[in-house]
Amino acid sequence: MNDLHRAEMADQELADAMDKLVIIKSAIYTSGERDPREPPPRQDTTGRLHLMGHDPRLPKMPNSPTLFDFFNLRFGPAIHMLQSARLALKNGCDAKVILACLLHDCSAAGFIRADHGYWAAQLIAPYVDEEVSFAVRYHQVLRFYPDESFGYKYPDSYIRLFGPNYKPEPYLDRAYEYCRNHKWYGTARLLTVNDLYSFDPNIHVELEEFTDIVGRNFRAPAEGLGFDNSPSAHMWRTINWPTRYL
Ligand SMILES: [Fe+2]
Ligand SMILES: [Fe+2]
């Protein structure tokens, strides 16, 4: 069997699997594109079952998935996080800052963009030192507020993305004040300093460069992420199986 034939067989298997399944999108995937007050569009579900496990369109995750499995199979190109972690390493930051850099945008990469610092912090909180999840939570906030003493300026990219008149919401002002006066402000600020604004497509960074730091500082559950009954296990399961009906 040649490669083309194999690809055609895989396409056919996927098409057959899809014919047997009803796959629904959660409201959050479509809210805005459609009015969330309206009932979801009706589908003809005759003779088909609602998906309750693995989505055949996605690469299958191992039964006990690790953090790196999520990086490889569920997070979009993670090169931005990898390059940020590499920069923190090069700048001589400690393991907490390097780990925070490696994980900081995991929500934007594989889960939810809005309030991505908060979601990412919640995802990782059961497995990392509290200082790491604090930094990840507040990096989103601190990015809007310059601090010359760390050499951190308001990002040019934010002027391009949000326009020159964008003002952070009042909740961000309050969160910034809280973080500014916190004993771990410096850790969160160092994350923003190493959070690259533009990344270099020519610099390749392997996840394996951080195997040791992750091994020492991320408490990987034996059951796999999603199956350990931690306060964020359900969130990892949703990333693994994002389209289950229930
Ligand atoms: Fe971010
Ligand atoms: Fe980032």
Span 50-86, pLDDT tens digits: 999 999 999 999 999 999 999 999 998 899 999 999 9
Taking the centre of ligand 1 as the mean of its atom positions, its distance from the CA of residue 219, in whole angstroms, is: 23
Query: Helices H, strands E: what count in the chain?
Result: 13, 2
pLDDT, tens digit, for every residue of 97-142?
A: 999 999 999 999 999 999 999 999 999 999 999 999 999 999 999 9
Residue 101 CA, ligand 2 centroid: distance in Å: 8
Q: d(Cα 241, Cα 216) in Å, to the nearest integer?
A: 28
Give the C-alpha separation, 193 to 150, whole Å: 7
pLDDT band at 158 (very low <50, low <70, confident <90, very high): very high
Which tens digit of pLDDT belongs to each residue from 164-196?
A: 999 999 999 999 999 999 999 999 999 999 998
Q: 188-241: per-residue pLDDT in tens? A: 999 999 998 767 788 889 999 999 999 999 999 999 999 999 999 999 999 999
For ligand 1, the distance from its centroid to the CA atom of residue 104, given in whole angstroms, is 6
